[in-house]
Structure 1
Amino acid sequence: MPHRLEKLNELIKELIGQIILKEEEFGLGVLVTVMGVKTSEDILHSNIFISVFPTEKGKFVLEKLSRHIYGLQQQLNKKLQMRPVPKIRFALDTTEAQAQELDKIM
């Protein structure tokens, strides 16, 4: 992955994390963490991987973020000093759940 793309991924991760923390409310005891960002080579799309605790709230959080994606995208557009700004999509990061499953098996 080119260095520029890595820097962009880290910047988007930081900015989206700040925006979600400031703008979104998921209820008492729900913790949402931006685990990573993967931006396409053409810089048109970014997949944002989130982790949710408790894991049972993952679908709820993903649906809420999807409903508010337009506003989140606008916030990112304002903060990111580049054009074009990648279009964002959210996905659940399942690596933690997979690690827990492996621990149970072992």
Structure 2
Amino acid sequence: MTERLPKVNELLRKEVGAALKSEISTDAVVTVTRAEVSRTMEHATVWVSVFPEDKAEEVLNKIKADIYQIQQIINKRLFMRIVPKIRFEIDKSMEKVTKVEEVLEKTQK
């Protein structure tokens, strides 16, 4: 089962990205950065990054409002016995990278 999880994570990441592209209309750039499926395959967390960052909450609210349609698209695209129930989160790793870079720049001066 452990060999299957990374494959399912990557497949889910790609399919959710395609579903978001077709379902969510926004002037922000939305990227699915990663997906993590539970060991039981019942639940999955999908992280998205949004540019510009100040639109992240607005985009996340749109995604959550359309979660039913997105889940239905994923259910049709994935040929799995159990399709995980998806939950979305904002990926804040780029914010952390930016903060680290700023600190490094300050220490070098």
- Indicate the TM-score class for this superposition, using the shorter chain for normalisation: over 0.9
Aligned length: 104
Provide the C-alpha distance between the structure 1 equivalents of 2:97 and 2:32, rounded to a whole number of angstroms. Answer: 18
Which residue number in structure 2 is paired with residue 82 of structure 1? 80
RMSD: 1.0
Which residue number in structure 2 is paired with residue 9 of structure 1? 9
Bigger radius of gyration among the two: 2
**Could you tell me which of 87, 97, 102 is aligned with 2:100?**
102
1:92 aligns with 2:90: yes
Q: Quote the offset at 1:2 in angstroms.
A: 1.3
1:18 aligns with 2:18: yes
1:62 aligns with 2:74: no
Which residue number in structure 2 is paired with residue 38 of structure 1? 36
TM-score (norm: length of structure 2):
0.92
Q: Any runs of at least 4 consecutive aligned residues in structure 1 with deviations exceeding 6 A, and if so which?
A: none
Provide the C-alpha distance between the structure 2 equivalents of 1:82 and 1:104, rounded to a whole number of angstroms. Answer: 44
TM-score (norm: length of structure 1):
0.94
Q: Unaligned stretches of 5+ in structure 2?
A: 105-109
